[in-house]
Amino acid sequence: MLDDNTTNLAMLVCNRWAGRASHKTTMQKPVIATRFLSLTLAFALVIPFFACTASGQPRAPIPAAKVDATLASKPGKQTAVFAGGCFWGTQSVFERVKGVLKTTAGYAGGSAATATYDQVITETTGHAESVEVVYDPSQITYGQMLRIFFAVVHDPTQLNRQGPDVGTSYRSAIFYANDEQKQIAEAYIKQLDVAKVFSGPIVTQVTPLKGFYRAEDYHQDYALHNPDNPYIKVCDLPKIKALKEEFPQLFVDYKGK
């Protein structure tokens, strides 16, 4: 068991460098990249103890949504936006879901003027790291995607954080595009809470989508392009594995755009 001082130090290292500064290792600033590399070993040693474990692990397999849209009779395009911690992991899951046509990492919850990574990490913009999912409603329903969101993508019982990433920009949120999405999301959260699927109450926000803003290019498909990053290894690759194991009928092998 880590003592409080060690835990606090580890959280600082993981949050600032794995969850944030590692976003910056895009060769924009060699100094940041060098400092990040010097902390990689420490990060790799401490993060497994606490970082990406789901404290609210479901007590049983996540049930399907009782309230859901029906599969469309013909192909089409609909859009959903989810926030479940760092958008690297959220995107890495949804881009591997059958019926998903496109995913984009970005920001939702704030204004266009503050939709940049440098501003979002100040935790003053109202934005959450989010992923826009464009899907074919004839292949997958909104309720099915919600099931994946709660089962694989993140821990919906963690308030304003996910693992080592702390702040409102890492909050759990569903940004609904219409009344049907709102109804399905609220009904599903109630269904999971009543059934006590998780060990604690779900804190996921259900809020109207006022705007989605694409994140910087280096964030797109980050997990795919950086599989050896310690953060990706510990936090995101297990999510992809879980998707394949828990939803094999919906899993597709994504190789990039």
Contacts of 209 (CB under 8 A, 6+ apart): 81, 108, 175, 176, 177
Distance of CA 121 to the CA centre of its chain: 16
Active site residue 86: yes
Provide the β-strand partners of residue 219. Answer: none
Q: What tokens were used for 154?
A: 């993140």
The torsion angles phi and psi of 252, rounded to 5 degrees, stand at: -130, 150
Q: Is the dihedral of CA 173, 44, 17, 228 positive or negative?
A: negative
Beta carbons of 82 and 90 less than 8 angstroms apart: yes
* DSSP label of 255: -
Which entry of 14, 52, 86, 235 is annotated as an active-site residue?
A: 86
Residues noted as catalytic: 86
